[in-house]
Amino acid sequence: MNLTNQIKKKLSKFSDDKIITFKDLRSQMDKEINVDSFRKALHRLHKQGIITINGRGQFVKEEQFKTYLFVYGSLKKGFENHDILSDANYISQAKTLRKFAMYKEENHDYPYIIDDAQYGQNIDGEVYEITRQDILKRVDEFECAPIYFKHENIFVQTRSRKIKVKTYVLSSPRVPLNQKPLKSWVQNKRKIDIDFNAYYQSILG
């Protein structure tokens, strides 16, 4: 059994949300473990959503959490805001089974999707597995959900299967008169710095 799985087995004896110190857990292991190896294994468990490291030398065990997120704009690989999903697990390219109309937000370099029976298309994007609630919270904050965008559960087709995912749909649908609907977001792959305060002010008025 590898070290990560050994630690997971020990963690099963602890209750959820109980504060645990690295020192206490390491002392309960069956044999002496190198500190660096132990720390790396804990960081792998943090990324998997098994624990949340919340301070120097301590963490809490989390309830099991997993969701799939479909992204179609600036959160995709190679785009300027992809770093927000750096701790999520990339699954596959995908296409929505439900049809949406996608438009560029005027005066901003990101898209939004809305239900549109007349101009709807199967939207191209990517699916990510999220195993920590703090990652989804981070994306919600970036998307200004649920005020500007709202969650919707939809089905997408990946390269190998159909899967249920969350995605972000514009809360107050609008159709720009000067645009044709898009199928894929392919603009602006350069890295830019964003003033989030100014960004939220601009979209919320």
Count CB atoms within 10 A of the CB of residue 11.
19
Q: Are the CB atoms for 113 and 179 separated by under 8 Å?
A: no
- List the one residue out of 83, 44, 45, 77 whose CA is nearest residue 61: 45
Confidence (pTM) = 0.70
The verdict on 30 and 111 lying in the same domain is no
Cβ atoms of 40 and 49 closer than 8 Å? no
CB 40 within 8 A of CB 53: no
Residues 82 and 52 in one domain: no
Confidence of residue 189 (pLDDT cuts 50, 70, 90): very low
pLDDT tens per residue across span 22-63: 888 988 888 888 889 998 999 889 888 888 887 778 888 877
Q: Which of 46, 61, 76 is the last residue of a domain?
A: 61
For the stretch 95-106, what's the b/e string if a residue is b when 16 or more beta carbons lie within 10 angstroms of its beta carbon? bbeebbbbbbbe
Q: Are 49 and 66 in contact (CB under 8 A)?
A: yes
**Local structure of 84: helix, strand or coil:** helix
pLDDT in tens, 109-155: 899 999 987 889 999 999 999 988 889 999 999 999 999 999 999 99
For the chain, what percentages of helix, strand and coil (3-state, to nearest 5) are there?
25, 35, 40
Are 18 and 76 part of one and the same domain?
no
110 and 195 together in one domain: yes
Within a 10 A sphere around the Cβ of 41, how many other Cβ atoms? Answer: 18
Indicate whether 57 and 74 sit together in one domain. no
Sign of the Cα pseudo-torsion (49, 54, 57, 62, in order): negative
Range of the domain at 32: 3-61
Q: Which domain-ending residue is among 44, 61, 78?
A: 61
Q: Give the separation between CA 150 and CA 96, rounded to whole angstroms.
A: 17
Say if CB 95 and CB 136 are below 8 A apart: no
Q: Which of 62, 80, 126, 143 is catalytic?
A: 143
- What pLDDT sits at residue 48? 82
Looking at the structure, do residues 118 and 192 belong to the same domain, yes or no?
yes
Same domain assignment for residues 51 and 146 = no
| Domain shared by 80 and 100, yes or no | yes
- pLDDT confidence bin for 194, thresholds 50/70/90: low
Q: What is the CATH number of the domain that holds 14?
A: 1.10.10.10
143 part of the active site: yes
**For 126, how many CA atoms within 13 A lie in the half-sphere containing its CB?**
18
DSSP string, 1-55: --HHHHHHHHHTTSPTT-EEEHHHHHHTSSS---HHHHHHHHHHHHHHTSEEEEE
